[in-house]
Amino acid sequence: MNKNITEKFKYILFTPLLIYLGERSLIAYDEGYYALQARWILDKGNWIAPLWFDKVVLDRTIGIQFLIAISQKIFGTNFFAIFLPISLASILMLFLTYLIHEELLGKKFAIISPLILITTFLWLNYANMVTQDIIYSTAITFGIFSIIKACKSKKRIYFLFSGIWIGLAFMFKTYLTFIPLIAIIPFLIQKKIFKKKLFWVGLIIGFLPFLIWSLSILKVYGFESYSGLFEKLLILSKNNIFTNPFYYYFWNLPLNIFPWTLFVIPGLISAFKVKDSITKYFLFFYPLNIILLLSLFSTKTQYYPLQILSLFSINIYLGIISISEIRSKLNLLIRFINFKFLPLIIFITLVLINLGFIDLNLSNLQTKLISIAFLSFSISLLIFNFLKNRNSKIISILLGPYILFIFIFQSGFFTDRTRDLRVASENLIQNESLNQKYIKTVTSDINDDISHSKIIKILLQMPNIGDGIETLDDLKKDEYAWSKISKDKFKNRQDIILINNDDIFYPWKLVLKK
């Protein structure tokens, strides 16, 4: 009975970092863009082509938009429905991390790896973002688990799953799927998984959604529109705004896996020393190969390494065990930085924030919550120095990030990303009785990054999204529209009433045709 209670308590630990009951709002790229495209699926009834108002934009598949639209069809056009597919994928990725840990290192302490994952900044950030990145990473993690399980259990179902994940991942991130595939091919050849018929059956099944979607696009819109997918690959493979130097991930990834950064290196060292070839491959060679391949690709973003965070979490667990037990020079240095120097830096930073020398651009409540969170984090790090028992040390290391991210998560930092615009929009809708109104948009005014980004965030807050129009002359009597009309032009328009001109909506203004 006590064992059952303990098992249930393990899962309760994840609840404060998975369930957020406060208000939500989205940023423009990429989550707002996908959420809008999902709205247009429902509004226009077009379930095969991603839209921008009435224009088909085929620079990506319709994977995440389709899932969000299905969710909204069932649960209504609300933020719960928008986030449901991402939330379910996040939970699955945590569970798969637990299972992979169990397969590679045994069941004891397997719960620690998903706890590390959920308290990693990069993962928690994208687990609360309406993009395909977590779903894509979950598909790859599912593939890794299936391959490991196939090698160890020899069960037919896992050979089938070993092929299915490839097509599913391709449906969400298309060509980026070649990165994990190239990294894992040597293992598939070595373990003769390629020779299994069920692997190839799974590969075909996994690609069915992409093939059905592609045939539908070709039938309705032709190859010229479909070729946009290939053009996107060419753009990303050449110099673009996301082009970064080769060493990008060597500083960006450590920064984004805070606060676990310093445990990765001892974890990798421990993984390399493991005798089991499967464990060594997936905890050492595979993640390093992924980083190398991503570094060779011209386009580099902070979220591409999400796909290896489950394995890194298990690596970090090994690093924590190493730090807790072995007193090498490297471990002593890491202990000093993590458990003495870092708490001091945090404390000084918190003093500067609360004295007003550092502005976080957050509300007073959010600033206080984050201050309490980081103070708790630094105290738990300091406690480590006074503990003798290994298990107590591990709990101390885990407790700090756990408390830290609960406070940050529940403060709305990861969830209410455009709070000021959300509040202003809610007031505007209420004051002008816009709940039943369809507000159009002058699409010719979307001519730069600022206007494009802001109109995405504005439209997401509107109860009903109207059609796009070329100019205000296309607006009919008693119709509303978002426009960038200048003050000079507005003075010469006697047929237009300016409804709202708040700075928060800049450069957009809400107007009404008389």
- For the entire predicted model, the pTM comes to 0.91
For the ranges 194-198, 287-291, 295-299, 385-389, the lowest mean pLDDT is seen at: 385-389
Please give the single-letter amino acid code of residue 74.
I
Residue 418: half-sphere exposure toward Cβ, Cα within 13 Å: 24
Q: pLDDT tens-digit profile of 30-47?
A: 899 999 999 999 999 999
Query: Cα–Cα distances in Å, from 382 out to 140, 318, 337, 370?
Result: 37, 21, 11, 18
C-beta atoms surrounding 230 within 10 Å: 11
Read off the pLDDT band of 6 (50, 70, 90): low
Please give the residue that has the higher pLDDT: either 235 or 37: 37
Burial of 150-169, coded b for 16+ CB within 10 Å and e otherwise, reads bbeeeeeebbbbbbbbbbbb
**Contact partners, residue 173, CB within 8 Å, separation at least 6:** 132, 133, 136
What is the reported pLDDT for 350? 83
What confidence tier does 233 reach under pLDDT thresholds 50, 70, 90?
Answer: low
In the beta sheet, which residues pair with residue 498?
A: 511
What is the C-alpha separation between 340 and 345, in angstroms, rounded?
9
Separation of alpha carbons 121 and 241, rounded Å: 24
Separation of alpha carbons 107 and 130, rounded Å: 32
Per-residue pLDDT, 1: 41
- Tell me how many degrees the CA angle 217-219-221 measures, rounded to the nearest 5: 55
Q: What angle do CA 452, 455, 457 make, to 5 degrees?
A: 110
Only one residue has tokens 């896996």, namely 257
CB 233 within 8 A of CB 191: no
CB 479 within 8 Å of CB 442: no
Question: For the chain, how many residues are written?
Answer: 514
Per-residue model confidence (pLDDT) at position 379: 85
